[in-house]
Chains A and B, each alone.
Chain A
């Protein structure tokens, strides 16, 4: 079975590269939002005290 590297076109490589860049940006933006800016909503119970759910 020939499993050697197959050639893909330059456009194809560019599309994959663009995807990887967007993936990196997306993960970075997520990191910035939650870990740096701590920007997220917290939902409390009516009493404001978390309930202990039964397993």
Chain B
């Protein structure tokens, strides 16, 4: 029967044999080679570089696996275009369904790992497993392919209901991928991270949707030429990946591999010019070569620049850390000893002092106390920034904490002649989960700041419950903030212009420390002010413990 089909096919349809599987006269347009070889080779090339760079990286392995399955899909599909034998066509068309769904499954795990830095949980794998079981069991049956269509010369199989099921599974996986991405995007408050999530997800969803749409159009319209354009989703996805590699150091790929990648890509594209000759495709290839030349140049240049900056930054960081260690071990020790000496003199450990000397000793004690505080806040900021601070998380009552701190600071406010208004509901408990000592520092910093920068008027402390959040705020009638001040307020060493003049001893690290502690606790901090000398309000919003 098979020989019969082949000989009729050869005589009536002019089918030609394909001794090397991929190449035969049956492939009627260059677009088929271009759409299959070009995306698969580029993707595989980048994936191999990425894998060689870090063979143990989970994300690197997943990208390699994804491109490997995509390449297998492309090559199997290419065989369908080239082959003249019904049995080969039936077999390779049948196994396409495996590769087809696998591309989506691996993409999901790849995105999940990229977003959450961990492998998708077992229940996700069980869900995928359940969805794929019908495909695994029914792939060798006529639910997959009903039969070989010899009513025309198109060399096509007739797809069964299993393919519609596979498309449904694929769409579900795309929706799930988009869902977890949106969740990760909303959970992140880091701008750069949000941008990288957007790029990665837009890239992969575009690839998967173009792949799905291409296949769906082919499946329902029986025009498989249109579906070829769907394959170009892969190089576009790779383009997004390349951008992520350059800008976010994804996969830690170095300059050399980027250069090799660009040169090979260029050569590969040039080689396509000689594959077969159809003028329209030549124009497309030529445009691609020009684009690659320009983009490749900028890609290598920016990778070099990023690498240079990274090395410089690492060096500066090492110097900063060494300085911090020096401050920690030496300067803080000197200052503390000086303070202790002044303290002993002040307390009369060395006899009664003359009034002039006593005044001098008091100034010495106050100055060394300020210096110790200053060094301590710089060190705290450095430790918080490096993640060296380990939080001891417990449930505690924020209301009691605020009450304690305001009581302690009452005398300071009174000494300055300011009014102190405290609006804390004594009947309402506000339990939050966090590090009591660190959070106390954040609350104290805000109130002390308000007292420090308010010359007359009042300081108001509010604490209220709003839905599942505790909202703590400190308002004052003091210095106020300009728009320029607000932009640097929570950065390391960031101080308002006027604040730096009025309090020369301020380090500018207090608000940075407060911001870091609050955000590390899942909270938010904001500052509002009508303008210079019109007071300001600092607000902390923190989730209540469940």
Partner-B contacts on A (CB < 8 A) = 1-6, 8-9, 11-12, 15-16, 18-19, 22-23, 25-27, 29-35, 38, 40-45, 49-53, 55
Contacts and interface: CB of A to CB of B under 8 A. Distances in A.
A22 B535 CA distance: 69
Contact of A34 (B60, B94, B158): B94
A42 B248 contact: no
Contacts of B140: 26, 29-30, 32-33
Given A44-B151, A52-B152, A6 B117 contact: yes
A34 B87 contact: yes
B59 to A, nearest CB: 5
10 closest cross-chain pairs (CB), A and B: A41-B147, A45-B151, A29-B140, A34-B91, A3-B57, A34-B90, A26-B136, A30-B140, A30-B94, A51-B152
Contacts of B149: 43
Interface in B65-103: 86-88, 90-91, 94-95, 98, 102
Given A26-B139, A50-B8, A8 B150 contact: no
Interface string B129-149: 100110111011010111111
Nearest to B249: A1
A11 B125 CA distance: 11
Given A3-B57, A5-B56, A6-B118, A19 B129 contact: yes
Q: Of A11, A16, A40, which is in contact with the most chain B CB atoms at under 10 Å from its CB? A: A40
Contact of B147 (A3, A38, A43): A43
A20 B483 CA distance: 59
Contacts of A38: 1-2, 87
The SS class assigned to the B binding surface is: helix
Contacts of A29: 139-140
A8 B91 contact: no
Contact of B91 (A3, A35, A41): A35
Contacts of B132: 19
A41 B148 contact: yes
Contacts of A41: 142, 146-148
5 contacts: A3-B58, A29-B139, A30-B139, A34-B90, A50-B13
Interface string B1-19: 1100100110011000000
Interface residues of B, number: 56
Interface of B: 1-2, 5, 8-9, 12-13, 28, 54, 56-60, 86-88, 90-91, 94-95, 98, 102, 113, 117-119, 122, 125-126, 129, 132-133, 135-137, 139-140, 142, 144-154, 158, 248-252
B98 A40 contact: no
Nearest to A11: B122
B129 A53 contact: no
B147 A40 contact: yes
Given A15-B126, A26-B135, A31-B95, 8 more contacts: A1-B249, A5-B56, A8-B122, A12-B122, A26-B139, A27-B95, A30-B140, A52-B153
Contacts of B117: 1-3, 6
A42 B56 contact: no
Contacts of A2: 117
A32 to B, nearest CB: 8
B54 A43 contact: no
A4 B126 contact: no
Contacts of A31: 91, 95
